[in-house]
Structure 1
Amino acid sequence: MTRGTQTTIEQWATLQAVVECGGYAQAAERLARSQSAVSYTVARLQERLGCALLEVEGRKAHLTEVGAALLAEAIPLIDDLARLESRGRILSHGEEACVRLSIEAVFPKTWLFDALVAFQKTHGHVLVELRENVRGSIMSQAAEGFDLAITSWEPHERTGRRITDIEMVAVAHRDHPLHQRSGPLSLATLSRHLCVFIQGESVAAALTWEGPHWRVNTVEAAIEAVGRALCFGWLPRHQIASQIAEGTLVPLPLELGASRLIPLVLVYADPDRIGSATRALGELLLSGAPKTR
């Protein structure tokens, strides 16, 4: 059985006000209560605890050592309850409590988290459930459940809004044997070397690739493999820009297909029933960056 508490959040919040305001009269003004009511509330709190929390010197109230220790533990609870009450008031007006956001793994992270920071400032009461996918289809994401998704465009998709194009560039480490050859590289030449594919990325290409290849689950794993001169691959330019600038990774001079564009779209699970919080997050994502990266 859960034991009932002997004190209330209201009592601790009153004590906090007395300390922050420096006295009972000032706290009463802040709380819009009478001074006697504030004094009685604090007295009841001390009585319930069986210890002195405040001591008055002149007209100013100070915490005792015990009072300082206990109030320090109580303040987070007071703040949590205030946030809970605020969230309850907002949700009572019909706004969703949670937004399920599914993001394509190659979508720029700075863009994503800038939008989430801005969203938190205006919708801190709304929980965002973030899930990252590698070239997952809308159908597969729908099976897992989402409210808002940034995903690769599909020919049958009619409701998505174009948000950006991600350039996938063929690269290899500067010490890779492919960079020892002169002139443009043919598909036949490439097929004699190990290529890394990201799970879900260019599935058709991976299945028809005649040469040796790896398939990894994350973009980071593919970048690491190419960066160790183990293989070559098509990687998101924005995620390897620093390595290209440093000369560690070097674009491959292919006859065809040196780069590929992945068009990304923003999709709502139910365009006819978009919650206000979901729409707000969607607009932040749409307005947060240039058309291409």
Structure 2
Amino acid sequence: MGYELKIEIRDLRYFETIAELGHLGRAADVLCRSQPALTKCLHRLENEIGAALFERKGRGLELTAVGREFYIRASKICETNDRYLSDMREFVAGSVGKVRVGCGPITADYLLPIICNLVLRHAPNVSLEIMINTNYFLKEQIKQDRLDLIVGVVTDDDEFRHQAFIDDIVVVAARKGHPIFQSGPVKLRNLLEYQWILPTTLVASRKWLDKVFLAHKLHRPNAHIETNSLPSIHDVIGSTDLLCFLSRLTLDHPKTRGMLKEVELAETTMVRKLGITYPHGSLMPATARLIDLLNQHHHAHMATVVGGTPATT
């Protein structure tokens, strides 16, 4: 049956130097230790190993057969120790690790590319695990410790920490040839003459829209289709007479190919913020590093906007 060796890394490092120099005095000078201290180090190692590690050769020292094997193993141990300690320093600095990012459908098009570019440029050894879903679902994932950070709509609740970066305007929209654009000025009640494709009832924008109609003593829009990723099915919106409620960012995005048009109405124009959401308390270093990179990018962007110079990612 084997037994556990009680050997300190310091003694292994001293042993390496002695073995490489083959001389106790020169090793003492290099290590800034006394010769008696190094002699005690060798005695400790030999007592633990149960065999001599060196034998005298003239005025120097030469490794025994056991010593040569022990030197190989000690070198590997010291190298591994250095590597893992170095990795730990990089981990604490946020230079390595994984960040589990939840992303809303809108921010998947607008903020996610910025995040990926920032990580690739400034923290290339940090990996990202990305989940795209609604804010409601993603918050549940944070609660269950399955996500570190959400990039999406920022709310004003105290359950999480929030940082807003950009404004987002959500409006009613339809395909460009929709009959609603042929009937003159549109009023809120006119929107109820058509069926809708809407986010599910748990999504904040859907709740907001329903409240607008109820506040005007009208019934809620009739959702013919419900989805948790409205921006992803713009082709459905563009090929039907369904009304939708989605971000102006989506209307302007190249992927919609100009198919959709805003139904201009003040009552159904919702202003919200896009940014990041993350838990209270301490964060994994890589997550904190990503948040810091996003803040730096945002401040640089704002500075260039104020200065009139185009911002870059």
TM superposition score normalised by structure 2 = 0.55
**Match status 1:260 vs 2:270:** yes
Is the 2:251–2:258 contact (alpha carbons within 8 Å) kept by the matching residues of 1? no
Deviations 1:262-282 (A, max 9, x none): 323422324x31233212211
**Match status 1:235 vs 2:246:** yes
Which residue identity does 1:226 align to in structure 2?
I
2-structure distance, mates of 1:241, 1:284: 27
**Which residue of 212, 220, 235 corresponds with 1:209?**
220
Residue identity over aligned pairs, in percent, reads 17
Task: Assess, with a 3 A threshold, how the Cα gap between structure 1 residues 97 and 165 changes in structure 2: closer, same or farther.
Answer: same
1:86 CA displacement:
11
Structure 1 moving runs of 4+ over 4 Å: 85-90, 242-247, 289-292
Is the 1:222–1:233 contact (alpha carbons within 8 Å) kept by the matching residues of 2? no
* 1:118 alignment partner in structure 2: 118
Is the 2:149–2:276 contact (alpha carbons within 8 Å) kept by the matching residues of 1? yes
The SS at the match of 1:285 is helix
Task: Assess, with a 3 A threshold, how the Cα gap between structure 1 residues 288 and 155 changes in structure 2: closer, same or farther.
Answer: same
Deviations 1:48-75 (A, max 9, x none): xxxxxxxxxxxxxxxxxxxxxxxxxxxx
**Match status 1:105 vs 2:108:** no
**Which residue of 154, 169, 172 corresponds with 1:170?**
172
1:105 CA displacement:
1.8
* 1:274 alignment partner in structure 2: 283
1-structure distance, mates of 2:235, 2:131: 22
Aligned residue runs from structure 1 range 113-192, under 5 A: 113-136=113-136, 139-144=139-144, 145-157=146-158, 159-183=161-185, 185-192=186-193
Larger Rg: 2
Deviations 1:117-171 (A, max 9, x none): 2312332322211111223267413234222222423332363122222211221
Ranges in structure 1 where 5+ consecutive residues have no aligned partner:
1-84
Which residue identity does 2:271 align to in structure 1?
L
Which residue identity does 1:286 align to in structure 2?
N
Is the 2:195–2:221 contact (alpha carbons within 8 Å) kept by the matching residues of 1? no
* 1:286 alignment partner in structure 2: 295
Deviates more, 1:201-210 or 1:234-243: 201-210
* 2:30 alignment partner in structure 1: none
* 2:229 alignment partner in structure 1: 218
Is the 1:97–1:126 contact (alpha carbons within 8 Å) kept by the matching residues of 2? yes
The SS at the match of 1:253 is coil
Ranges in structure 2 where 5+ consecutive residues have no aligned partner:
1-80, 212-218, 306-313
Task: Assess, with a 3 A threshold, how the Cα gap between structure 1 residues 115 and 196 changes in structure 2: closer, same or farther.
Answer: same
Is the 2:133–2:228 contact (alpha carbons within 8 Å) kept by the matching residues of 1? no
Question: How many equivalent pairs are there?
Answer: 206
* 1:69 alignment partner in structure 2: none
TM superposition score normalised by structure 1 = 0.59
